[in-house]
Amino acid sequence: MTKLQIKDLHVSVKGKQIVKGLNLTINQGEIHALMGPNGSGKSTLAQAIMGHPNYNIDSGDILIDGESIINLPVDKRAKKGLFLSFQYPAEVPGVSMMNFFRMAMNALNGAPKTIPEFRQIVKQKMEVLKVDESFAKRYLNEGFSGGEKKKSEILQMALLNPKIAILDETDSGLDIDALKTVSEGISSLAGPETGLLLITHYNRMLKYITPHFVHILVDGRIVKSGDSSLAMQLDEKGYENIIKEMTVSS
């Protein structure tokens, strides 16, 4: 069973420290929700885990199955089983969805699939995720709506079959129908082989995906953890009231 461990992590961006001593462990098969207000460090953590060069690890460590990955490039981290779904997926004109997906799968797996094999796999995944087949004939995210871009990310996740997937505000910018479709797609991919870290501001996606653990991130630190009921408390009380209650109780 693959395990992602984040130990006393400190991360800075352009000289400003954003993540300030964060500890978190995610195992395959677990669903974790990381919630927090704007500027708390959620997206910074996601980028640091995947090795974005603009996010500097000042101290601490990130490990996969006990092995540090902080000096590994992004592609090596992906081969270890990590996946990141972006909050704002980039458009890549001229690159078809099918070509992009096939190149990504071949790079990750090392054993290239034949074109008929690959097309069959894509067709199966699109059926599971309820994505129209015409979707694959378009250029990567070009002219896509917010919901379509998020569907593209989840389809990519389904094809790459990561051991630990980090979904950075996948619910951002989605209308009610798109949120339901995308959330149900994510839920269909959850299981014993995949650990999920759902990064979000709100409880709305968690109405479709029930996390095993919920963590509140404030000012670069996890200040409280609990089960799915913690997300419901946040929805009712808001971050400020939860933080005040914690301060009084301590």
CATH code of the domain containing 39: 3.40.50.300
Residue that wins the pLDDT comparison between 243 and 11: 11
Q: Does residue 126 belong to any structural domain of this protein?
A: no
* Residue 110: pLDDT over 80: no
Q: Does residue 92 belong to any structural domain of this protein?
A: no
* Residue 2: pLDDT over 70: yes
Give the model's pLDDT for residue 89: 84
Q: Does residue 51 belong to any structural domain of this protein?
A: yes
Q: Does residue 116 belong to any structural domain of this protein?
A: no
Among the listed residues 228, 240, 174, 177, the one whose alpha carbon sits nearest the alpha carbon of residue 203: 228
175: phi > 0 → left, psi -120 to 50 → alpha, else beta; which?
beta
Q: Compute how many other C-beta atoms are within 10 angstroms of the C-beta atom of residue 1.
A: 11
Q: Does residue 21 belong to any structural domain of this protein?
A: yes
| Mean pLDDT computed over every residue of the chain | 90
Q: Does residue 183 belong to any structural domain of this protein?
A: yes
Burial of 21 (0-12, 13-18, 19+ CB in 10 A): middle
- Which residues does 34 contact at the CB level (< 8 Å), separation at least 6? 24, 42, 45, 197, 198, 199, 200, 215, 217, 222
Question: Which of helix, strand or coil describes residue 84?
Answer: strand
Cα–Cα distance between 117 and 120 in angstroms, integer? Answer: 5
**Total number of domains constituting the chain:** 1
The pTM (predicted TM-score) of the whole model is 0.91
Q: Does residue 15 belong to any structural domain of this protein?
A: yes
Give the model's pLDDT for residue 240: 78
Q: Does residue 94 belong to any structural domain of this protein?
A: no
* Residue 202: pLDDT over 90: no
Domain limits for position 31: 3-87+163-249
Tell me which range, 47-56, 125-134, 185-194, 237-246, is most confidently predicted by mean pLDDT. 47-56
- Which residues does 138 contact at the CB level (< 8 Å), separation at least 6? 96, 97, 144
* Residue 250: pLDDT over 60: no
